[in-house]
Chains A and B, each alone.
Chain A
Amino acid sequence: MTDLLKTPREWPSILLGRAGAKDPLDLDAAVAAGAFEGLRAAVRDLGATATIATIGASGLRGRGGAGFPAVTKWRTAVDTEAPRRYVVANGYGADPASHTDRTLMMLDPYAVVEGTAITAFAVGATEAFIAVRQEDSALIAVLAAAIGAATDAGFLGFDIHGSGHDVSITVRPVQGAYMLGEETVLLKALEGKRGQPEQRPPHPAARGLHGMPTVVHNVQTLASVAWILAHGSDAFRSTGTHDAPGTILVQVRTPAGQGIAEVPLGTPLGDILKLGAALPVGRTLKALLVGGPSGGLLPPDLLDTPYSFETLRIAGAHLGSGSVVAVDDTTDLVELIGVLTRFCSAEACGKSIPCRIGTKRLAEIVERRERGLARPSDDTLASDLAHDIVASALCDHERLATLPLTSGMRYFESDLNDPRRPAPAPIEASR
């Protein structure tokens, strides 16, 4: 299990409030600590319309990386005429190096289950799915046990809280590819099809799983939903920033260690980094990789950038999988950019041609740089190509796959053009 990092006392604990429980699956203890209070408030006191209004007032935004307002999805799903609707909790955790979603579900499965039930109740869905990685059998067991216990206690299943509304939640293990973290791709996999994204609009909230309105949320979003309903939208708004209230889980990795912390949105990157262990003596911070394998590389002088959706995007990174990796001066940045670009290229699903071919060409450009064979036209070529890939993007993977290279070119020009790299091999004479 990944360690939880100690955070300053004044930071609120929204997602991991019950994380200290001895047995996360002990339903009585969890209920005593406040679990399923939000569901009761939503079903008994508020009703569906007021629940949606509460989420709207809280300003909750999706924790999956894009930061889409949660209430917009709910309203779209409710406004679309359909015989049935679905809720999908995305706990796939596509980034293999980030355990934030998994940690939340392991430490407080009831928060995710409760949030899913509230969402299903509010949008009028009777079936909900929690998608997780198939190889993670421990997590699947925990979630199945949590759903079972909650159903037995009457929080889920038939006629919850006497409202006449049924909600059944199923754990759906999926596996196969990095791309499954993307919502339309995940829905395709749940339908038993190739994991390839769909053109949007229509958004999944209007036309998703099996053609029905489907609300897809990251598990952290759902846990926040449960907290908001229990504590009110004003309390939620008091944390984070005006545009992005609330907290988010961050996976911090430094050469000295790693861990997961719950961080209010808008916290400067430097403060997040301080939660991790200090760098070993004699090493200096070279770069921050923010956002996972398709994240951006940021230089140390951007340490006061607030950790939030827009600010990171402007700086050339994104929230992504909630991973913040500190890289010190012993790391070869060109090699790292190469690995990231190749990863993004290898994981491209192949549906859109600029992504399938373009990322491959970008990987080749970085590889030429790694081997000291860079051509004078490469920089222009790379930025043109990256621009075209992003402009023709079908999904967020494509929109972000160029980030490691473009952010590297933006901030680490001197590393990319390091004269100590191997000398270019002589060009074979043209005949």
Chain B
Amino acid sequence: MSLIPGLGIAKGMALTLRRFFEPKVTVMYPEVRVDVPHKFRGRLQLLYDEWGTLKCETCFQCAQACPVECIDMGGMDTRGRYHVHWGASETYGERREESALRRSGRPVPDPAYRPYEPVDLAVVDTVLEDFDHDPARMLDILEATQDAYGYLPVAALKRISHATGAWYAMIYGTASFYAHLRFEPPTATTQAAAVAAHRPAETTYLAALDAALGGAVGGRAAGRTQA
């Protein structure tokens, strides 16, 4: 702390005053434009830190600003598929337009496209009857629906939402949270394979424990079958 009160603000104002009379660097773009070559775009470069990893923070500002949309940001998702990333939807909504979708190799939405497969909803109505249309038993309803269809069709979820009064978003949120619920018909056939598929972490953990113990123990599945 300075000994003279107000010295700090005096110093600050002095700096402001000095800058006030200095020549200006800022140009009043777009009224005034700096004379740069026609095709100048700056220098596009990704920088690395001292450990060799990219310094890019994935802020999407470059992709957003790029006038010819030549910059996109993409990466592999957990299933090894390449996606173009869009950033926050409210900010980058305009990048969901058709040309961007086309360039990223994604299907371009067709207004005439039916969003979900029509399914026989009598089954889900029976399930809803069984559980009194009670949203507090949502997990039971979803599991019974999945048992009936093999997966959770969108049409069935909409019917559940309509009948129970629970928001579709809440139902979808619950269904997508639990690993044993799925939105596509299953590919794994055996029970063990299904468990392994929807509990990858658990399976890896048991396998590692087995390996650490020299393969002497069985997992929970082994204990189950003999019981």
Q: Quick check: B208 and A335 within 8 Å, CB to CB?
A: yes
Contact with A192, one of B50, B139, B205 (Cβ below 8 angstroms): B139
Chain B residues with CB below 8 A from A328, complex form: 214
Q: In the bound complex, how far is the Cα of B198 from the Cα of A177, in angstroms? A: 10
Query: Looking across the interface, which residue of chain B has its beta carbon closest to that of A350?
Result: B177
CA distance A428 to B53 in the complex (A): 8
Residue pair A253, B173 in contact (C-beta under 8 Å): no
Decide: A99 near B136, CB < 8 A? Known: A1-B226, A428-B48: no
Choice from B49, B206, B212 contacting A331 with Cβ under 8 Å: B212
- Given A336-B208, A430-B48 in contact, is the A192-B136 Cβ separation under 8 Å? yes
Q: Which residue of A lies closest to B191 (CB)?
A: A135
In chain B between 172 and 227, which residues have their CB closer than 8 angstroms to a CB of chain A?
Answer: 173-174, 177-181, 191, 195, 199-202, 204-206, 208-209, 211-214, 216-217, 219-220, 223-224, 226-227
- Contact B136–A175 (Cβ < 8 Å): no
Chain A interface category by residue count: 35 or more
A325 near B208: Cβ-Cβ < 8 Å: no
Q: Which residue of A lies closest to B203 (CB)?
A: A96
What separation, in Å, do the CA atoms of A142 and B219 have in the docked complex? 21
Contacts of B217 in A (CB 8 A): 97, 253, 257-258
- The answer to whether A210 and B208 touch across the interface, beta carbons within 8 angstroms, is no
Alpha-carbon separation in the docked complex, A349 to B177 (Å): 8
- Interfacial chain A residues near B141, Cβ < 8 Å: 192
Among A97, A136, A343, A431, point to the contact of B219 (Cβ < 8 A): A97
Across the two chains, which residue of chain A brings its CB closest to B140? A192
CB distance from B136 to the nearest CB of A (A): 5
CB distance from A427 to the nearest CB of B (A): 4
Chain B CB within 8 A of A124 CB? no
Q: Compute how far the CA of A136 lies from the CA of B224 in the bound complex, rounded to whole angstroms.
A: 7
B202 touches A96 (CB 8 A): yes
B50 touches A293 (CB 8 A): no
* A339 to B47 CA separation, bound complex (whole angstroms): 32
CB pair A96 B205 closer than 8 Å: yes
Does residue A372 face the partner (Cβ distance < 8 Å to B)? no
CB A123 to nearest CB in B, in angstroms, measures: 21
Kindly list chain A residues whose C-beta atoms are within 8 Å of the C-beta of B201.
178, 342-343, 346-347
Contacting pair A2 B223 (CB below 8 A): yes
Does more than half of chain A's interface fall in helix, strand or loop, or is it mixed? loop
Q: Tell me whether B135 is interfacial, beta carbon within 8 Å.
A: yes
Q: In the complex the two chains form, is B227's CB within 8 Å of A138's CB?
A: yes
B206 contacts across to A, CB distance below 8 A: 96-97
The reply to whether A339 and B205 contact each other, CB–CB distance below 8 Å, is yes
Q: B227 to chain A: closest CB distance in Å?
A: 5
Q: How far is the CA of A97 from the CA of B223 in the complex (A)?
A: 10
* Contact across chains for A255 and B202 when beta carbons are under 8 A apart: no
Interface size on B, residues (CB 8 A): 46
Complex Cα distance A272/B181, Å?
39
A191: nearest chain-B partner, CB-CB = B136
Counting CB contacts under 8 A, is B113 at the interface?
A: no
Asked if A257 and B216 make an inter-chain contact with CB atoms under 8 angstroms apart, the answer reads yes
> Which residues from B are CB-within-8-Å of A343?
201-202, 204-205
Q: Are A192 and B174 in contact (CB under 8 A)?
A: yes
Q: Is A390 interfacial (CB-CB < 8 Å)?
A: no
Q: B180 contacts which of A175, A178, A327, A330 (Cβ < 8 Å)?
A: A175
Does the CB pair B208–A330 fall under 8 Å? no
* A291-333 residues at the B interface, CB under 8 angstroms: 293, 325, 327-328, 330-331
Is the beta-carbon distance between A176 and B179 smaller than 8 angstroms?
yes
Among A1, A178, A194, point to the contact of B173 (Cβ < 8 A).
Answer: A194
B207 CB, nearest partner CB in chain A, Å? 8
In angstroms, Cα B211 to Cα A339, docked, is 11
B138:A427 contact, CB within 8 angstroms = no
Report the minimal beta-carbon distance from A152 to chain B, rounded to whole angstroms.
25
Q: How far is the CA of A431 from the CA of B139 in the complex (A)?
A: 53
**Contact among A96, A175, A430 for B50, CB-based, below 8 A:** A430
* Cα distance A189–B136 in the bound complex, in angstroms: 9
Query: Shortest CB–CB separation between residue A99 and chain B, in angstroms?
Result: 6
A195 touches B52 (CB 8 A): no
Given A96-B219, A177-B179, also A135-B195 (CB < 8 A): yes
Contact A176 B214 (CB under 8 A): no
Q: Is A366 an interface residue (CB 8 A)?
A: no
Take A177-B178, A325-B212, A427-B51 as given contacts and tell me if A99 and B220 are in contact as well, using a CB distance cutoff of 8 Å. Answer: yes
Interface residues of A (CB under 8 A from B): 1-2, 96-97, 99, 102, 106, 134-136, 138-139, 174-178, 189, 191-196, 210, 253-258, 293, 325, 327-328, 330-331, 335-336, 339-340, 342-343, 346-347, 349, 375, 427-431
Sample of 11 further A-B pairs with CB below 8 A, known A174-B139, A255-B216, A349-B177: A96-B219, A139-B227, A191-B136, A194-B173, A210-B136, A253-B209, A258-B216, A293-B205, A335-B208, A339-B208, A431-B47
- A to B CB contacts below 8 Å, 21 in the list: A1-B227, A96-B202, A102-B223, A134-B143, A139-B227, A176-B177, A176-B179, A191-B136, A192-B137, A192-B138, A253-B209, A257-B216, A327-B212, A335-B208, A340-B205, A427-B50, A427-B52, A430-B48, A430-B49, A431-B45, A431-B48
The 6 closest A-B pairs by CB, nearest first: A192-B138, A346-B201, A176-B178, A339-B208, A427-B52, A194-B177
